[in-house]
Every structure is written in C-alpha cells, then in structure tokens.
Amino acid sequence: MVNATVVYPAGSFGSDITERWKIKVDVPADADADSICEEIFRMMNRVDGSEIEHYLEEFQCRSMSMGDIVELTDGRHFICDAVGWRELA
C-alpha cells in the first residue's frame, strides 16, 4: 500500500481553486512511480466500481486529466501528460 496525493491545479476545467485528494494506492511497496501513477489514474477515472469510486462521486470529484499532478510521499511529483507521465523537477 502506498500513500499519494492527487492535485487538480487551479485553472483546470474552469476551477478557481486547487483541489487535493489524499489516497491510498494498492500496489506493492516496491512499485515504480509509473505503476503507481497508472494505478492512481485508473482509480480516479472510476473504471472498476471500487470503494473510492463511490467516495469520489459523493464529493463530486472529476476524472483525472492531462495537467493533473500526483505527489508521492518521497517528494517526487508527476504530471499527467498527453501520453503517460512526466516527472516535474
């Protein structure tokens, strides 16, 4: 299990606030960053009927899109790109 934060930056889809969602990701502890980000993308886009899907719907959280950011607990940040993920410096 890995902890992460999903960040929807202000300005995305007309929003004037930055939204932050702390989530637990069910991946092996030694999973690489790309695998973690891909699992988060899958979870945030409600593809499997999991418990988080109902939580996100209740709080009217939109799907994850290009430009959204994943913050890992080790301090690295990854932005959702047109295809895949790009680490932010």
Q: What is the pLDDT of residues 19-62, one digit of tens each?
A: 888 888 889 988 999 999 998 888 887 666 666 666 666 666 77
Overall number of domains in the chain: 1
List the beta bridge partners of residue 6. Answer: 21, 70
Return the pLDDT at 7.
87
Split at pLDDT 50, 70, 90, the class of 13 is low
What's the pLDDT at 33?
A: 94
Quickly tell me which residue has 């960040």 as its tokens: 7
Sign of the alpha-carbon dihedral angle for 85, 21, 10, 74: negative
Contact 9/67 with Cβ under 8 angstroms? yes
**Structural domain of 58:** 2-88
Pick from 55, 58, 23: which is nearest to 40 by CA?
Answer: 23
- Calpha distance 84→54 (Å, rounded): 25
Beta strand pairing status for 77-80 and 19-25? unpaired
**pLDDT at 18 (0 to 100):** 81
Is pLDDT larger for residue 70 or for residue 29?
Answer: 70
